[in-house]
Amino acid sequence: MAALGRPRRSCLAVPGSSVKMLDKAQGLPADQVFLDLEDAVAPLAKPGARKNVVAALNDGDWAGKTRVVRVNDLTTQWTYRDVIEVVEGAGENLDCIMLPKVQSAGQIEWLDLTLTQIEKTIGLPVGKIGIEAQIENAAGLVNVDAIATASQRVETIIFGPADFMASINMKSLVVGGLIPDYPGDPYHYILMRILMAARMHDLQAIDGPFLQIRDVDAFREVAKRSAALGFDGKWVLHPGQIDAANDVYSPAQEDYDHAELILDAYDYYTSEAGGKLGAVMLGNEMIDEASRKMALVISAKGRAAGMLRTTTFTPPA
């Protein structure tokens, strides 16, 4: 099972150019915030946005949220200054740098080496700052395994659907939505490919944005599809999407209770007192070692989400 690490059911995008939104985001119940220097910030506003982001990280109260800054991608002239200014200015109060439009392992290696230089210069432990890699084009997806293993710092692989759709000439403008002309989920392969890389290398898999921000029901429908596959969380662009993401990427109470029950029952039945049994009945269900592994996943997600169980296992008299 992949390490859950920092919680990321809801990853709130906050444009670095808006002091008002940087302020407001601090009080919202998102698991993660990412302060954006990339596509939500106009070219002329980027230098000012770097300063806003440093000030917000240092002076804000982020109340246990995972704090991330998305820098510009490495085909632009802005990336190195983004990284240096943000990490030198606020490295102490920063958890990860998100690198968008990653295309190769070399780009992650560049970021890793740059972060190491900055950490050594300003006296932070080497490796303190993690990396989030955003997959947004064909090259990124084809190279996703190499990207995932290019640095020990990589914590997440993120799907960037809008840029991805543009990069492969997809015939739709509704990000993440189903396409009536296609008899299936057009994102299935991409999501699965990212998920396999994430699970193989013990990273989190994060789904990208849904742009119809006023339609929370449609957001839920899209989120449910990646959550069902095993994704850990999704971007949110608006406060109204946060509760939905926290809910969709947490187990249902009934599933969480059941998982804890399986773990307790399996623990008991495999013990001396329980008869050292490997496969037993729990109600109408047969459970064995594979059931325990599935239950561990659901239970870990539930515990990470702070859920409390509402049932207990009682061994037979």
C-beta neighbour count of 89 within 10 angstroms? 18
What is the Cα–Cα distance from 231 to 255, expressed in whole angstroms? 17
- DSSP H helices in 270-313: 289-304
Expressed in angstroms, the distance from the first to the final Cα of the chain is 34
What is the Cα–Cα distance from 316 to 48, expressed in whole angstroms? 66
Least distance in Å: CB of 285 to Mg ion? 43
What is the Cα–Cα distance from 68 to 12, expressed in whole angstroms? 10
By C-beta, is 112 or 136 nearer to Mg ion? 136
The listed partner (ligand GLV, Mg ion, none) that binds 209, CB under 5 to 8 Å by sort, is ligand GLV
Which listed range, 108-116, 146-154, 156-164, 213-221, lies at the site for ligand GLV (CB under 6 A)?
156-164
The listed partner (Mg ion, ligand GLV, none) that binds 233, CB under 5 to 8 Å by sort, is none
By C-beta, is 41 or 298 nearer to ligand GLV? 41
Could you say whether residue 208 binds ligand GLV (CB under 6 A)?
yes
Beta strands in the chain (DSSP E): 10-15, 32-36, 66-70, 96-99, 130-135, 154-159, 204-207, 233-236, 280-282, 285-287
What is the Cα–Cα distance from 215 to 235, expressed in whole angstroms? 15
Could you say whether residue 209 binds ligand GLV (CB under 6 A)?
yes
> By rule CB under 6 A, what count of residues binds ligand GLV?
8
Which listed range, 9-17, 142-150, 153-161, 236-244, lies at the site for Mg ion (CB under 5 A)?
153-161
How do strand 285-287 and strand 280-282 relate by DSSP bridges?
A: antiparallel
By C-beta, is 208 or 251 nearer to ligand GLV? 208
What does the CA dihedral 189, 150, 114, 58 come to, rounded to 10 degrees? Answer: 60
Could you say whether residue 160 binds ligand GLV (CB under 6 A)?
yes
Q: Look up residue 5 and give its DSSP letter.
A: -
Side-chain-side CA neighbours of residue 195 (13 Å): 17
Residue that has been written with the tokens 């997959």 in this structure:
135
Could you say whether residue 130 binds ligand GLV (CB under 6 A)?
no
Which listed range, 20-28, 160-168, 190-198, 224-232, lies at the site for ligand GLV (CB under 6 A)?
160-168
Q: Which of 199, 214, 110, 104 is nearest to 156 (CA)?
A: 199
Could you say whether residue 161 binds ligand GLV (CB under 6 A)?
yes
Interface characters, 41-80, with ligand GLV (x: CB under 6 A): ----------------------------------------
Least distance in Å: CB of 71 to ligand GLV? 13
Least distance in Å: CB of 155 to ligand GLV? 17
Least distance in Å: CB of 148 to ligand GLV? 18
Least distance in Å: CB of 60 to Mg ion? 25
Exactly one of 136, 155, 207, 264 binds ligand GLV (CB under 6 A); that residue is: 136
- Give me the residues that bind Mg ion (CB under 5 A), please: 136, 160, 163
* Sites of contact with ligand GLV (CB under 6 A): 100, 136, 160-163, 208-209
